[in-house]
Amino acid sequence: MSDAARPIRIGNVSGFYGDRFSAVREMLEGGELDFITGDYLAELTMLILGRDRLKNPDLGYAKTFLRQMEQNLGLIAEKDVKVVVNAGGLNPHGLAVALREVIEKLDVDRRVAFVNGDDIVGRAGELGLGSPIAANAYLGGFGIKTALDAGADIVVTGRVTDASLVVGSAASAFGWGYDDLDQLAGAVVAGHVIECSAQATGGNYSFFTEIPDMGRLGFPIAEVAADGSSVITKHEGTGGSVQIGTVTAQLLYEVGGPRYYNPDATARMDTVELSQVGPDRVRVSGVKGEAPPKDLKVSLNHLGGIRNEFEVVLTGLDIEAKAAVFQEQFEAALPERPAELTWELVRLDRPDADTEEKASAMLRCVARDADPKKAGRQFTGAAVELALASYPGFTLTAPPGNGAPYGVFEPAYVDASLVPHQVNQPDGVTVRIEPSPLRTEPIVDRSVPSSSTTTDWGATVDLPLGTIAGARSGDKGGSANIGLWARSDDEYAWLDETLSVAKLKELLPEVADLTVHRYRLPNLRAVNFVVEQVLGRGVAENVRFDPQAKGLGEWLRSRVVAVPTRFVDAQSAANRRSTEGN
């Protein structure tokens, strides 16, 4: 950057493989940017890309990114915007080759580098990781920094942490080193806020009715300063809103305790300070950094076998009896029982319903087995054969199928020195990136099951928890997190006292028998829960109604608790003032 004192503007155009295709052009045309970043990878995405690569070894990357570049490279070159994405997936070299071909065809001046070394599946056995079909270590941002320092205009990576896209960009712009822990941690937090695209501008937001122009949300921008602080914003005139609440919600997404571990620095989430400094402008400051952990997290994907399922409709009277007779008949009719058979009765019916749909419930059966035969067509075929011999009103929602392969995600950890973090620079020279010399054994945050204080809150009224609290939840392998926050100090004090681990289990009976950790984040007026193994062995394998736990927080908000009437009165007064002001 020509002016190191000027904050750099980093706009994120993708939060997952399948995000809004037009976001690249919208961000380029919407205003000035120094960098475009894009997160295309998730645990499930790595399995999808693995299947692509099995069909064609030249693939294994996010193909939509290549098409986005074909349509926008001219504008990218004209505006001299750097592009940093993890769209390389399992084949960053292949994506770099394809990009160079597009650049040559379009005759634009853009230099490409790629970061790899994360793919350690060939060494899985020697590293004690078993025999997965994919094994990818989460790399940090200094490979990206090295590529940019060497003159790259576009950097594509394999598996790096989501925040590393911003960390590498900022570290290059400001010349940060491994010992600039506070600055790196600040960039980690900024990267975490914008990594999920529109979730920072009002997407998936608990108080979504307060967000203007939800029709087409703008994508977020992080204005990162040399000291690691940032301002989260969006292009003027785009939909949505950037406010302390939307930023808080994203900060709580898929995190654990107060320490947010990354390969370059551990960010202390309990030091984050948020302030609204203008319309659609939230300042993020005060972030403290600690040494990164000595081990890198590794995403392991195993082929689990074949999964198949069917649903039958149960209508009218005697729903549970109908479900029981069908289950008994079906299991007796199976030629061979699959290794795993799961039943779920979803009671969507209601008494004296005025439509047939409202009078009906769904019974779902899922089979999993390593043998394609046991979970294949003979499984669903056994259900079809009962069509004229079971409960009254028997209906299948879909014809029988053969099932499909499913993967199992498993996290592991490997010493960072054993992973060859590499950069192929624009001139073709490959450079190895040494891990931070500061890395150390991570400090494990202590879970606090309940608050240590008790307050007389006065009169209460039974209302949904979401009357007071916002929530954001998501998957972390087989576990899930639920972050809740309040919008005033008093409401946070009440939330902290009220929502203990025991109370959470009472409100969410599905997690009553699971291990739950509770962490406090007073700076964000938030508490965060991590529920172990609620998602079994990960998104690709589990058959839970909400396999990624995206709705878990909203379910919790819908549960009724005793809310102090003074909070309700204060909200009513605020709503009246807002109405009178309009």
The model's pLDDT over 181-206, given as tens digits with 9 standing for 90+, comes to 999 999 999 999 999 999 999 999 99
With residue 569 as reference, give the H or E element that holds it: helix 565-581
DSSP state letters, 436-469? PTT-BPPPPPPP--S-S------SEEEEEGGGT-
Strands 281-285 and 295-315: unpaired
Residue, of 47 and 262, whose pLDDT is higher = 262
| Domains, in order of start, for the chain | 8-299+411-432 (no CATH), 306-408 (3.30.70.380), 460-581 (no CATH)
Residue-level pLDDT at 573? 61
Q: Give the model confidence (pLDDT) of 41-68 as tens digits.
A: 987 788 788 878 888 888 999 999 999 9
pLDDT confidence band for 20 (50 / 70 / 90): very high
Residue-level pLDDT at 547? 82
pTM, whole model, 2 decimals? 0.93
Residue-level pLDDT at 1? 44
Contact 118, 178 (CB under 8 A): no
pLDDT confidence band for 458 (50 / 70 / 90): very high
| Burial profile 427-457: b = 16 or more Cβ within 10 angstroms, e = fewer | eeeeeebebbebbeeeeebebbeebeeeeeb
Residue-level pLDDT at 495? 98
Please state whether 99 falls in left (phi above 0), alpha (psi between -120 and 50) or beta. Answer: alpha
Strand partners, 363: 312, 345
Residue-level pLDDT at 50? 81
Dihedral of the CA atoms 410, 415, 419, 421 (nearest 10)? 110
Three-class SS state of 487: coil
C-alpha 520/C-alpha 528 separation (Å) is 6
Residue-level pLDDT at 2? 42
Contact 552, 254 (CB under 8 A): no
Mean pLDDT for the stretch of residues 555-570: 94
Contact 48, 539 (CB under 8 A): no
- Amino acid in position 71: Q
C-alpha 561/C-alpha 120 separation (Å) is 49
Q: Give the model confidence (pLDDT) of 71-89 as tens digits.
A: 999 999 999 999 999 999 9
Candidates 261, 580, 302; CA nearest to 436 is 261
Residue-level pLDDT at 581? 55
C-alpha 25/C-alpha 437 separation (Å) is 40
Mean pLDDT for the stretch of residues 8-18: 97
Q: Give the model confidence (pLDDT) of 121-153 as tens digits.
A: 999 999 999 999 889 999 999 999 999 999 999
Contact 305, 352 (CB under 8 A): no
Residue-level pLDDT at 51? 78
Going by the DSSP 8-state scheme, the letter that residue 292 receives in this structure is P
Q: Is 288 exposed, middle or buried (0-12, 13-18, 19+ CB in 10 A)?
A: middle
Encoded tokens for 325: 């007779």
Mean pLDDT for the stretch of residues 545-566: 94
Residue-level pLDDT at 364? 96
Mean pLDDT for the stretch of residues 15-43: 96
C-alpha 145/C-alpha 425 separation (Å) is 11
Three-class SS state of 214: coil
545 pLDDT more than 90:
no
Mean pLDDT for the stretch of residues 208-227: 96
